[in-house]
Each structure stands twice: as C-alpha cells, then as structure tokens.
Chain A
Amino acid sequence: MAELTAVVGIGQTRHAAKRIDVSQAGLVREAAERALDDAECTWKDIDAVVIGKAPDMFEGVMMPELFLNDALGGAYKPMLRVHTAGSVGGSTAVVAASLVQAGIHERVLCVAYEKQSESNATWALTISMPFSVATVVGAGGYFAPLVRGYIMRSGCPDDVGIKVAVKDRLNALKNPYAHLRIEDITEDMVRESPMLWDPIRYLETCPSSDGACAMVLTTEKLAVRCRNPAWVHATEMRSEPTMF
C-alpha cells in the first residue's frame, strides 16, 4: 500500500424518523461540517468528495449526489457516488480510504446518508418487474426466511434476537445521535411487540431514519498533526449472489 491513511474527523447528524427541519442537502452538510470541525480543516482543504447512499428510491431522487455535490463543497472537484445496497455506508468509507491509500488525494471527505421520510422505504423495496410477483414485504420480508432458516439449522435459542435488541437499545441511550431512545426497554417489551416478519418482531428491527454520517480521511503526513488519528490498517469486502 502506497500511503498509510487515517480517519481524522467524524461527524454525525441527529437521527430521527423525520428531519423536516433540513433538506437532503442540509442533512449531509450538517454531518460534513461536524466532520470538518473535528478534523480542524475547512472546505477548501478537501481534494475529493465521496457520497454513499442506497437505494435512490428512498428519497425519490435519481443519482442525488449530482445535486448534493455543491452542498458538500464538491464544486469543481472529483466526486464519486458509491451504491452497494445495505453495505453502502461501509463501502463509502472503503472507497474514500482507497483514494488516499493510492496516493491520489491528500484529504478526502466522505458522507453517507438516508432521508427515508422523503419517500417510502417499503414502496422503494417492492420490486414490481414483469414476470415476477410484487411482494410488498419491505426489507424484513427478504431477510426473515434467512433468519428462520438459520434458527432451524443452528438450533439457536429463540430469544437471541430479543437480547440483541435490548442490548442495542440500552447502548443507544448513551448515544446522543441515536434515533430510537426507549428508556424502559425490557426483554418482555420486545417479546410482546407485534410480529412483523416471523420471526422478526417490531422492536427487533431498525427504524426508518433520516440521518447522515461524514468522515475526513488523510495521509500519514497530515494525520500525525491531528489529535488521535484512527489508522486504517486494512479494509476488505466480499459479495455473494442474492439467490442460490
């Protein structure tokens, strides 16, 4: 690898079901400004912008990076738009890191976001193509059969999902940016919540959120001048087929 790379700034927005106080551009800018402040740099220090989100139908804008680029200080700079489905937040960071690791740019801003309140996620995930049945099941409908299959084959206890949900919601109470804040969360509360996609209950799923996260990545030379750089030692990605 040519260049050692570090994350030197991060910024998140407050997450909520509806951020009607900001446009999509306002949302991504809120995260980006916080990341720049954290990295102690300004818009003009950024060499390239990487924008990640998936899928476009969650907001109803085709290739929204084209209209968001200006709000992210990307005018007359290189801009890449990453879309790798559910993994897009992570792969946006991977692409941004690559640009520094390859020695092409010194300082890259990456931002991933979703503003699901501007469209309808279940509609967006309902594929209605010729010669196929439109399932209208949302994300959980695709994953539930896999979860059920895993539970059957592995024989794992049926309260694992419940425990995970409670643990995450308790942790979220310590996170000022978290969307869901359920102060009195208990295993019973999760168990008694409505079954959405058997075996996944309402409180075992993530919420549909409006929110964005941004990072600034730099070369070793610039990173050593920053407070607590987080070094990127390695990144890896693998993809499998949807169906077997």
Chain B
Amino acid sequence: MAEPLLAVRGLRKRFGGLVATDGVDLDVAEGETLAIIGPNGAGKTTLIGQLAGDLRPDSGAIQFAGADVTAMSASARSHRGLARSFQITSIFRDFSALDNVALAVQAHAGHSFRFWRPARAEARLREPARAILEQVGLAGRADVVAGTLAHGEQRQLEIAMALATRPRLLLLDEPVAGMGLDESQRMVQLLRALRGRHTLVLVEHDMDVVWALADRISVLVYGRVIATGVPEAIRLNAEVRRAYLGGEVPA
C-alpha cells in the first residue's frame, strides 16, 4: 500500500479511570471508505474527536497527508484537508442554508479581516456554495433559515459545509443518526456519490449503511480495534460476533 492518507499510531486517551481510546492503530488509504463500528461506549466519539482535533490524545500520533497533526487545532486540520460532520447536527441555525455553506467556503478563501464589502455579494463565496448545495440536493432550499430545515436536510447541509472546505478526507460521525428510512436512503445515495472521489471515514451504528458504503471496516470495542478487514471478513469474524451482544450477527 502507498503511504496512507491518514495513519493513526498507538492513540491513547483516558478520562479518569476510563480508557476511552486504548492504543488505536488505523490506516486509511486515499480514496477508500473506512467504516468504524462498535457497540455503545466503544469509544467511537472519543476517537473521532481526536481525529478532528477537538480532543488531545494522551499519547500516540496522527499523521495526515504527510504531516504530524497530533497537536494541531481543528481549524488548522481543516486547512490541511480534513473535514467533519458532527453526530449532533452542528450548523449555524439562524443563517440561511446558503450562508452556512458560504461561510465554509469563506474559511478557505483568504483571510476574513475584511470590513467593508458585503460578504453576501462576493460571487467567489456564493457561487461555489450554490454549486455544493446543488450537489447535496438542497439547491431549492438555499434561502431557507437553516434552523427551520427538516432534520434530514440539516444533515445534508452538514455534508455540504464539509465539502465546501474542499477536503481530502471526510470524517462522518453517524451521518444517518435520527433519520427516517427515506431520509436515510437519500443520505446513503449522497455518500455513495462521494465515495471514491473523497476519502471517507464513517462512524455508524446503522449496519445497512455500513454494508452499503464501506470498503473496509474497523471494529472498535472498549477503545481497541479488535478487527479490521473487508466487509465479508468482518461479517464472518467470530470475535466481532461475540462483541455484538453474544453472537448476534450485525446486519
């Protein structure tokens, strides 16, 4: 394998007596989709937090796009090409959908110490934002206040904001959480369209989504990766079955 886009080595994070991340190693190749699954409390959110830069690991290293980003802030990682969506929808609720995406474009279009020209009149921010809204299927909702969008639309908007940063890797924290069947299917379609063009790291509970998207799967249990492999191998892995509630096959 060529040099992986994301390489995690010996990542460890404890909260008091609880070891939330216990020596995690991960490699993600450019262009692949890796799903991280695991039972509740396995430490998925803590792991995502460390990858995104919200949490500092106690030890270990994260290499991304050829640089050590372990000590980098979330905003600095964004500029190296790492984007994320949040498990609990995180948008600018009182701005329009288009504003939300335009802000993400703005973060990567030079500095914002500009005090005079209306940002909403900058074609350089608005045009790419419109194109991305179109891409995620929200073109008709551009001027709607984001907080009033339907739940599924807000999740699509999150993906749009992540895409607007022109990322090399997208970290998706439970992208279909709380969605109905229709919304969930639309999201899977959207993510499927991104697959291959972007590198995706997906944390997800919904195994249908995982089977539909993942090139490889890593299984996290009690802060450790107990297995990594192609979906078929994971499906047949005895240890994985045990971890999922006494042998119940995930699917």
Q: Is A bound to B?
A: no
Q: Which residues of B contact A (CB under 8 A)?
A: none
